[in-house]
């Protein structure tokens, strides 16, 4: 969890710096670049998720799983990267003239795709091998590199347009360097070859798994980011830049749930079904406790942090931030359940239904709240929170029905779990008493 806090801190710092140097419009365009990359990644990224499943559940060789999965990654990113290179003449002059645009963000994201997706595959390998220390290190590298690169980029010019374009380059460079480090870790720690090579025994299995999961992962990315696109294209880039701050800070809640998910993912895959059910339910309850405590902290403390960290241009982000928080907390708990669906049941198609339901709800309510009731970005945030609430309820009901686990027990801490919290509180209180005595 310490690494997750560190990673969240890096994301927060980069958002503060980009907001300060690029302003609302520039911040909106930079966020659009990152969101566009997320739209490119699900097709190839879906095959990476088989790596952990194949190593832990199917007991295949990590080398065979990784090298075969890389074949699918290479096939997709080659198409995207070549398309970006072909599009370069259309953006080259406007880039060097300091005229960033919404269409330019797709070009930059296409150039980044091979490096970013390779990094994703390596982190999945390290995750599957349960090398959590190295996984945490890899997950913070890109953000850690981007911050000094961004600061260097903004010093090149006082013109806002040039600054935005140079920050695009810094973002691309951070992924290039990150992919090089990922390659080193894959060879040294993962003990695999970086050469894409098909293993005939698992080729069809990976293709079936990845093909089914690609659709759901694409919908997941759309569901997570469609609110930003709606603000960008309905209200404008400046409003999107302000709204992105609300999303960035609210998203930090997910670092809490993902810290637990990171630990239990490989176990959910490798355990027998009965034990996996019990582990999933236990993790769900612990996540609920963490989310409840985190929500209180985020409501009481983070608004002051936002006001201090960002200038008055971003003050309207607070309204959307308050609305988004409960939805993000429910999403964090939903992710625990969907991990069971994909890594134990091997049914990634269930995610398609969940994400599709949320997207339909989100878009429909956004058109009502923004188009009909003129609620602006706050209406978009409300629609997103409701969409996440719906998939939480559906996932919970399906999990309990499929496993026959009592739904009320999902929210009731068991005696041994209560004892763990009492023990933790006792240790903290004991240390505080010792400090007072000193």
- What confidence tens digit (pLDDT) does each residue in 258-305 have? 655 555 555 554 556 677 888 888 888 888 888 888 899 899 998 988
- What confidence tens digit (pLDDT) does each residue in 375-413 have? 889 999 999 999 999 999 999 999 999 889 999 999 988
CA dihedral 89, 95, 97, 100 (to 10 degrees): 130
The pLDDT assigned to 271 comes to: 55
Nearest to 339 by CA among 136, 72, 53: 53
CA distance 248 to 22: 16
Nearest to 14 by CA among 308, 333, 310, 349: 310
Question: Cβ atoms within 10 A of the Cβ of 32, count?
Answer: 26
Whole-prediction pTM value?
A: 0.81
CA distance 52 to 58: 9
- What confidence tens digit (pLDDT) does each residue in 191-217 have? 898 989 998 889 888 888 888 778 777
82/417: higher pLDDT: 82
Give the pLDDT band of residue 4 (cuts 50, 70, 90): low
Give the pLDDT band of residue 157 (cuts 50, 70, 90): confident
CA distance 126 to 137: 11
Decide: 262 and 133 in contact? Cβ < 8 Å. no
CA distance 412 to 414: 6
266-280, 355-369, 414-428, range with the lowest pLDDT: 266-280
The two three-digit tokens of residue 307, written as one number: 């006001």
């Amino acid at each position: 969890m310490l690494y997750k806090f560190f990673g969240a801190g890096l994301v927060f710092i980069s958002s503060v710096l980009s907001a300060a140097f690029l302003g609302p419009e520039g911040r909106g365009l930079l966020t659009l670049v990152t969101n566009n990359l997320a739209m490119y990644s699900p097709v190839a990224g879906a095959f990476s998720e088989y790596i952990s499943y194949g190593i832990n559940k199917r007991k295949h060789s990590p080398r065979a799983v990784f090298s075969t999965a890389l074949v699918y990654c290479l096939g997709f990113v080659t198409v995207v990267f070549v398309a970006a290179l072909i599009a370069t003449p259309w953006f080259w002059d406007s880039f060097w003239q300091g005229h960033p645009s919404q269409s330019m963000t797709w070009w930059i994201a296409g150039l980044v795709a091979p490096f970013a997706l390779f990094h994703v595959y390596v982190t999945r390998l390290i995750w599957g091998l349960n090398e959590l220390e190295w996984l945490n290190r890899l997950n913070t590298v890109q953000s850690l590199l981007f911050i000094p690169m961004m600061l260097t980029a903004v010093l090149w010019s006082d013109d806002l347009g040039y600054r935005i374009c140079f920050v695009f380059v810094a973002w691309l460079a951070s992924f290039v360097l990150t992919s090089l480090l990922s390659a080193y870790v894959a060879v040294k720690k993962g003990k695999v070859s970086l050469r894409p090579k098909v293993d005939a025994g698992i080729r069809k299995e990976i293709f079936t798994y990845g093909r089914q999961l690609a659709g759901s992962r694409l919908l997941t990315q759309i569901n997570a980011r469609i609110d930003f696109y709606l603000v960008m294209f309905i209200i404008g880039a400046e409003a999107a830049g302000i709204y992105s701050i609300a999303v960035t800070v609210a998203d930090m809640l997910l670092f809490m749930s993902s810290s637990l998910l990171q630990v239990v993912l490989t176990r959910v895959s490798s355990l027998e079904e009965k034990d996996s059910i019990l582990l999933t339910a236990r993790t769900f309850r612990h996540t609920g406790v963490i989310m409840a405590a985190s929500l209180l902290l985020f409501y009481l403390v983070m608004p002051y942090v936002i006001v201090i960290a960002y200038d008055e241009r971003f003050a309207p982000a607070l309204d959307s931030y308050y609305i988004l928080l409960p939805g993000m907390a429910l999403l964090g708990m939903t992710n625990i359940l969907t991990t069971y669906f994909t890594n134990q049941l091997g049914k990634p198609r269930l995610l398609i239904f969940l994400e599709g339901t949320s997207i339909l709800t989100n878009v429909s309510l956004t058109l009502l709240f923004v188009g009909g009731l003129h609620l602006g970005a706050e209406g978009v945030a409300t629609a997103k929170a409701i969409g996440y609430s719906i998939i939480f309820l559906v996932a919970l009901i399906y999990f309990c029905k499929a496993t026959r686990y009592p739904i009320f027990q999902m929210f009731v801490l068991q005696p041994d779990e209560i004892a763990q919290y009492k023990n933790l509180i006792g240790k903290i209180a004991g240390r505080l008493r010792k400090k007072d005595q000193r």
